[in-house]
Structure 1
Amino acid sequence: MYNKLKNVSKCSRRSFLKATAAMGAALAVGPAVDKVEAASRAVTANGRKANMPEGTKSIAHRTLGTGTAAFEVSALGFGVMGMTYNRSQHPDKKQCIRLLHEAVDRGVTLFDTAIIYGPLNNEELAGEALGEFRGRVNVTTKFGHEVVDGKATGRQDSRPATIRRYCEESLKRLRTDVIPMFYQHRFDRNTPVEEVAATLKDLIKEGKVLHWGMCEVNAETIRKAHAICPLTAIQSEYHLMHREVERNGVLDVCRELGIGFVPYSPMNRGFLGGDLNEYTVFDAPNDNRNTLPRFTPEAMRANYRIVNVLQRFGREYGMTSAQLALGWLLQKEPWIVPIPGTTKLAHLDENLGTLAFALGKDEWKRLEDEVTAIPVTGDRYNAEQQKQVQ
């Protein structure tokens, strides 16, 4: 049913693009990751569905959350952050808008941003690029990091009045009248989670927010929040090089309570795609990877053995290392929706091409075992950033 690419001599992201230049049709084959639902329909702000224009491609859909918290989205979302924040050089605004429009045309319905990205200018970009698609796509955003006069303070503020103010400001920047999903970006130790949940419950009743979620919180906090107002999704870092949510009970509580899970940095901030190595130079003013222990030249040199495993494995199935990283997450649970970001059309097509492949459980287990056998060098965050993670 699925055409696998043969005789790919080197499965780096660049070689994949050359090898598949004439195979666009193969990547449009209906995916077997889930039961396919055409992306000719997208969830609107009030839960109804709207017809997509003719020519929009179809990709698999998944549902985050259950019951009244259920939220149907494309099986792969799009992380907007790197278009303005923390990812070195990026294209100009016109090019970014063009790429976001291409993602919509390819069936992506979930786009992710946050107040802190920029700060503010990432939401503004998302609003300018995607505001015209209201009712066709969903742009989720996040509150929590304190921003004063357009600058981050490094503090957390999730007091009810602050959440309400941030909500109103985000609505304006996103050019919409309802936020499809509003995440608490980081846990605020000075504000009880019950107050946060109650505030979101009120915002949902008022029609300003459709769903809500939390980022990088523990299982106990998830239970407390969900008891006040049902959560739609938890967003935390999760990929082949960071699997803490499998061990700390977060995935277990999501499974138990019917909460969706959205892995951010699903390719370890680009590393698992194979384009970064010990010689990569990051743009100091606008790239947090300069501050992360896992991205020192020494750590990347050691960790590149993991990329080599993905590349060797990918040659057997005609998949790139990036597609294997995303596919591994997708096969974990049907309620997991990764949000890879990119500034390149070629990488967008490559990421979405993941949905054209279906490997068996034994194959995924073999890949996982090979990667697990290699110790990861370097922590994911420095001490200061780690303090913000519950």
Structure 2
Amino acid sequence: MTDVGVARLHRDEVAHLLKGLPCWSGGGALEATSCNETEWHQIFIVRNETSKVVASIPSWRGLDLESKILASEALGAVDQLGPRHVATHRSGEMIVLVDEFLEGGTLSVDDLTSTTLQDVGRLYARLHRSDVGWFNPIRQQLMESQLLTAAECDWAGCLWLLPRLQRLVPEKNAEQLAAEGIDWHFVAEEIRALPSNDALPRKGVTTSTVCVHGDAHLGNIMWHRGQLRLIDFDMTAVGPAGADLAYLVLMLFRCGFSPDAVASVEAQRCFAEGYLLGMALDASEQALEDFLFDMHRWAYIGLLQMGLLCAVLMNNKGDPRKRQLMHERGPVLLHPKFLSKAKEVLRLAVTEKMVRERLIKEGLFFVTLSQWLS
């Protein structure tokens, strides 16, 4: 079981802990305001008369926390990629991560114009071109603890992160889903076998080993002075670029929500063009079509990730509509027959143009669901 334990702090305690940081300019006492926008950690906005930062109390421990800290420090140092990491404040066992405050709020569906979609594509291209050296200490520990081999570390964004999510599934939720047909051994084996899964792309830019964010959804993309930034590096690691693109298909293209919410092919092409241009690659008509097809093929990993997140969070407190969707999606996304059917669809799409076109237009989840139910 991953070591998770949220150290609950009152806002006044947070302000007191951070008062000695050198980031404060001007005068006045510090004031902390609690935010309730995360499933995992305590988040506070801390300010005085002239300065403002975001402070988080991580729920992770051990290697999971170390990776989050290293990713936050490294990617925050890359201009206009993430928030600048101000400090990692340690007080005994208490750790508070302090980051630059981003001013414009999170990206919303209403923001997704063609220009913004291109910008999001360029943002992820910049992430995927960033240096992965920060991950080396984590890689070394994964190998020394025999969690992953050297070759498997290139897939850590899947082979390390997805098993972590599976370990986080509460026992009650796991039993409930097992009663609905989920075979947890099958899920674990599907994750382990991802590098050899013949339904996934075997060549091309999406197979490159890069720094993957790991939780690519609109709530983790923020505006700051007219530019887009990434936040929340809890699941950031090294992995195939397709591991990020998989979740973007479900969350950015809305292929995991409802059929009428799926982004148009034209909108998807805007993201693809921004990404390919950001990677300094060919963005011709054929290149865009091939890239989008590969994105949707990688969505198989997105199905596993979304299913596991549903399993972890479905009985948490929060938005009842979100919890209801998790209750509906979880038993489907992780069902062995559904996952097997999804791989059948992907293999068929390689040779059948009509299936390929439908896959891009509707998304793997809805194409598979229609065939599975029939």
> After TM superposition, is the score higher than 0.5?
no
TM-score, length basis structure 1 = 0.29
Q: Which structure has the bigger radius of gyration?
A: 2
Which of the pair has the greater relative contact order for Cα pairs under 8 Å at 6+ separation? Answer: 1
TM-score, length basis structure 2 = 0.30
Pick the structure with more helix per residue.
Answer: 2
